[in-house]
Amino acid sequence: MITPSTILTQIPVALRNPLIEEYNSIVQNYMEHRWSPSELSGGKFCEIVHTILNGYPNNYSATPSKPNNFVEACRRLENKVAVPRSFQILIPRLLPALYEIRNNRGVGHTGGDVDPNHMDAVAVLSMSNWIMGELIRVYHDVDVKEAQTLVDYLTERRIPIVWQTDEIKRVLIPDLPITDQILLLVASSSAKVTFNNLFEWLDYSNKQYFKKALIKLHNDRFIEYNQKRNDIEILPPGSTYVEKRIKELKIVT
């Protein structure tokens, strides 16, 4: 069984860890509406992915490296034989576009022709997400749906107002409505959250009212609350609401 700790372990740890860290940085910065850092991480992400593809399947470099001519280095990957087509054609042709956003759209230095913005950050996030899914699909020989599920497991959202240890989470603004606190806690978790864990994290006393709040969020399609399994996960409208709420709270602070 593939778990978050065993994802992409075929890649040497000196490349695997930076890959996951940079991908998580892209997701985190996007979540916090920090468009410029998101795109900067996109450039580093490209260099790590190129290093991995260049070393596939068993001749990896000890550390990520930055080619002198990134576009030409990606073209050379197309000459590799006996590799998956996505490693030979698709990803090598996608990486220069992702890298271009980092270099020539106002990111990483002054004087870019376009200021970094939400549109660019969406492109960085989407391309990086697809590349991660394809790496997982190839290395683990799984279908696209399972690959995306595993990509989601890699990402533990670090929400600024959610403090956490290995076993506990707390919303640091306790006077927020309980529905907001529920959404923040669920959104900060990469996997489904159990009813009991969420109730404990809220440090709430009224379990009946807590359950009513979950049902309301479920009916509003902000979360998926499975009462048979007693677990909860965030839905796209819930994620959108959390992003908006975080932005509002950061403005206040």
pLDDT of 240 over the 90 cut = no
**pLDDT of 253:** 35
Angle at 226 (CA atoms; ends 222, 232), nearest 5 degrees = 50
Confidence of residue 208 (pLDDT cuts 50, 70, 90): very high
Bridge partners, 231 (sequence order): 194, 226
Which has the minimum average pLDDT: 88-92, 141-145, 163-167, 198-202? 163-167
For the chain, give the percent of residues with pLDDT over 70: 87
Q: Where in the chain is the domain with CATH 1.20.120?
A: 4-154
Write the CB contacts of 19 (distance below 8 Å, at least 6 apart in sequence): 8, 11, 45, 48, 49, 52, 135
| CATH 1.10.10.10 segments of the chain | 162-252
Confidence of residue 72 (pLDDT cuts 50, 70, 90): very high
Angle at 52 between CA 46 and CA 53, to 5 degrees: 90
Task: Tell me which CATH code domain 4-154 carries.
Answer: 1.20.120
Sequence-ordered list of residues with C-beta below 8 angstroms from that of 81, at least 6 positions apart, any chain: none
More confident residue, 249 or 231: 231
Amino acid making up residue 51: T
pLDDT > 60? residue 112: no
What is the CATH code of the structural domain delimited by 162-252? 1.10.10.10
Q: Which of 126-140, 157-171, 183-197 has the lowest mean pLDDT?
A: 157-171
Give me the pLDDT at residue 155, please: 66
**Mean local confidence (pLDDT), 198-219:** 95
pLDDT at 231: 94
Q: Which residues contact 198 (CB under 8 A, 6 or more apart)?
A: 182, 185, 186, 232
